[in-house]
C-alpha cells in the first residue's frame, strides 16, 4: 500500500496519538464541555464524537444525526484540534465534508462488508481526507487488509488502522477479545501503516482502559482512541466504558511510552547475543518437529496397512495429560502447551489423512 507517513498529515503529532471524545454526541453543551476539558490536558491529538450510531437493537439511541456535526465542528474550532467521526455510507461522507469534518473512521460493523467499504472508497476518491479503519467484528485479517486496500486503491493515502478487538461467544474479561496477534501481523505486513488501539471497546469497562492502553503501547502501537464524557454514568450509549476528562488526563500521564530504537551500544550487543541463542534454539525446535512428523508418517503407514483408524482418542488424551504434567515441571503455561499440542495434533491428523488417501483413487 502507498501510505503517507502520519507525521505529514497530523499537525499535533505526539506519541501516543490520542483520539478522544464522547461515544455519542448528545447535546451541544455536552460535546463542547467534554472537548474543551479534553483539550486542556495537552495530550489529545484529535476530537471524536459518534454522530450516527449503528446499534445492535432498534429503538436504542442511534445518535443525534447531522446536528451533531455542527457541535463537533464548533468544538474543533474552539480548541484548535482536528475532529473525526464514524462514517458508514456515502451520505454520511457528503454531510461531513460539507460541515468541514477533518477525518473519518470506518467502524467494525462496516469493515466487515466489502460493499459498504467500496461505497465509502468511491465517495472519497479525489479527496485528501485521512481515514482510520477499525478491524472487522470477526477475527478476519484479510477483511481488515481488504478494507484498507480498497481505500488505498481509491487514492486514500492518509490511512491508519484501529484495533478494537473481536466479538465472540466465549465468556471473557473483555467486551471484545483483543487477539493481539492480529494487529501484530498487520504491522508485520505493513510496517508503514499507523495502528492505534481502542481500549474502550476492547475492555467495555473503564477499569480496564489503563491496562489495555499500556499493553498497546508496549506492543509499539502508535496511539489510542479513548471514549470520554463529562458525566459518563449518564451517557446515552456505552456508559460503562467512558471516562471523565480528569481521569483521561490522569491515565495518559501514567502511561509509559517505550522507545523501540535501541540506542545504547552495550544493550544492543547484549540483545543481539540473546537473539542468536534464540535462533539456535528455534532451529533445534524445527528439527525436532521434523523428526516428530517423520515418526507420524511411519505411524500413518502402519495404520493404513493394518486398517486402523487415524484418530485414537485414548492416545490423544494420554498425550494431553502427560504433557500437562511435563509443562508444569518445566514452568510452561498449561494453556500455551495445550494450544501448541492442538496445532501439532491437527497437522499430524492431516498428514495421516494424506497417507490414507494415497493411491486410493488411482486408475489401473
| Each residue's pLDDT tens digit, 138-165 | 999 999 999 999 999 999 999 999 999 9
pLDDT of residue 13 exceeding 70, the answer is: no
- Whether the CB-CB separation of 156 and 121 falls below 8 Å is answered with yes
d(CA 183, CA 188): 8
- What's the predicted TM-score (pTM) here? 0.82
Residue 364 above 60 pLDDT? no
| 119-142 pLDDT per residue, tens | 999 999 988 899 999 999 999 999
What are phi and psi for residue 166, nearest 5 degrees? -130, 140
Strand runs labelled E in the chain: 17-21, 46-48, 83-86, 103-106, 131-134, 159-163, 195-197, 223-227
pLDDT at 361: 53
Give the model's pLDDT for residue 22: 95
Positive or negative torsion for Cα 128, 80, 46, 218: positive
> What's the mean per-residue pLDDT of the chain?
91
Using CA atoms, how far apart are residues 156 and 130, in angstroms rounded to an integer? 7
- Measuring CA to CA, how many Å separate 357 from each of 45, 155, 173, 175? 59, 49, 44, 44
- State the cell numbers at 67: 446536528
Please tell me whether residue 202 adopts helix, strand or coil conformation: helix
State residue 52's pLDDT score: 87
Q: What is the pLDDT of residue 363?
A: 42
**Among all chains, which residue has been given the C-alpha cell 470520554?**
228
What is the spatial distance between Cα 204 and Cα 218, in angstroms, rounded to a whole number? Answer: 20
Average pLDDT over residues 263-285: 91
DSSP 8-class letter at 203 = H
How far is C-alpha 252 from the chain's CA centre? 20
- The mean per-residue pLDDT over the stretch 83-105 comes to 95
CA distance 182 to 200: 18
| pLDDT of 11 | 66
User: Domains plus CATH for the chain?
Assistant: 6-254 (3.20.20.70), 265-357 (1.20.59.10)
Whole-number CA gyration radius for the chain: 25
Q: How many CA atoms lie within 13 A of 300 on its CB side?
A: 18
For residues 29-39, give the mean pLDDT: 96
Neighbours of 52 (CB within 10 A): 24
Q: What is the mean pLDDT of residues 254-270?
A: 87
- Cis peptide bond prior to 91, omega within 30° of 0: no
Q: Distances in Å between the alpha carbon of 239 and those of 122, 162, 204, 234?
A: 34, 21, 9, 7
Amino acid at each position: 500500500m502507498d501510505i503517507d507517513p502520519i507525521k505529514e498529515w497530523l499537525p499535533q503529532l505526539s506519541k501516543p496519538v490520542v483520539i478522544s471524545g464522547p461515544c455519542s454526541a448528545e447535546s451541544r453543551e455536552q460535546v463542547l464541555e467534554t472537548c474543551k476539558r479534553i483539550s486542556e490536558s495537552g495530550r489529545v491529538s484529535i476530537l471524536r464524537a459518534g454522530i450516527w450510531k449503528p446499534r445492535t437493537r432498534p429503538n436504542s439511541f442511534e445518535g443525534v444525526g447531522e446536528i451533531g456535526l455542527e457541535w463537533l465542528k464548533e468544538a474543533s474550532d474552539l480548541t484548535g484540534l482536528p475532529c473525526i467521526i464514524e462514517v458508514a455510507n456515502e451520505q454520511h461522507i457528503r454531510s461531513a465534508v460539507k460541515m468541514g469534518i477533518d477525518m473519518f473512521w470506518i467502524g467494525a460493523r462496516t469493515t466487515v462488508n466489502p460493499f459498504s467499504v467500496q461505497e465509502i472508497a468511491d465517495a472519497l476518491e479525489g479527496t485528501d481526507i485521512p481515514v482510520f479503519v477499525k478491524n472487522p467484528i470477526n477475527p478476519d485479517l484479510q477483511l481488515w487488509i481488504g478494507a484498507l486496500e480498497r481505500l488505498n486503491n481509491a487514492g486514500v493515502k492518509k490511512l491508519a488502522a484501529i484495533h478494537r478487538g473481536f466479538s465472540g461467544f466465549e465468556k471473557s474479561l473483555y467486551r471484545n477479545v483483543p487477539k493481539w496477534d492480529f494487529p501484530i501481523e498487520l504491522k508485520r505486513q505493513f510496517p508503514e501503516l499507523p495502528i492505534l488501539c481502542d481500549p474502550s471497546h476492547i475492555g467495555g469497562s473503564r477499569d480496564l482502559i489503563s491496562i489495555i492502553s499500556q499493553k498497546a503501547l508496549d506492543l509499539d502501537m502508535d496511539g489510542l482512541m479513548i471514549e470520554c464524557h463529562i458525566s459518563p454514568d449518564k451517557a446515552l450509549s456505552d456508559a460503562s466504558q467512558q471516562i471523565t476528562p480528569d481521569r483521561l488526563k490522569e491515565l495518559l500521564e501514567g502511561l509509559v511510552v517505550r522507545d523501540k530504537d535501541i540506542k545504547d551500544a552495550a544493550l544492543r550487543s547484549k540483545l543481539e547475543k540473546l537473539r542468536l541463542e534464540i535462533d539456535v534454539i528455534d532451529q533445534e525446535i524445527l528439527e525436532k518437529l521434523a523428526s516428530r512428523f517423520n515418526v507420524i508418517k511411519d505411524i500413518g503407514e502402519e495404520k493404513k496397512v493394518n486398517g486402523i483408524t487415524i484418530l485414537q482418542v485414548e492416545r490423544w488424551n494420554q498425550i494431553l495429560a502427560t504433557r500437562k504434567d511435563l509443562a508444569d515441571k518445566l514452568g510452561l503455561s498449561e494453556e500455551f502447551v495445550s494450544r501448541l499440542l492442538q496445532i501439532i495434533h491437527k497437522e499430524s491428523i492431516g498428514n495421516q489423512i494424506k497417507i490414507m488417501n494415497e493411491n486410493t483413487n488411482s486408475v489401473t
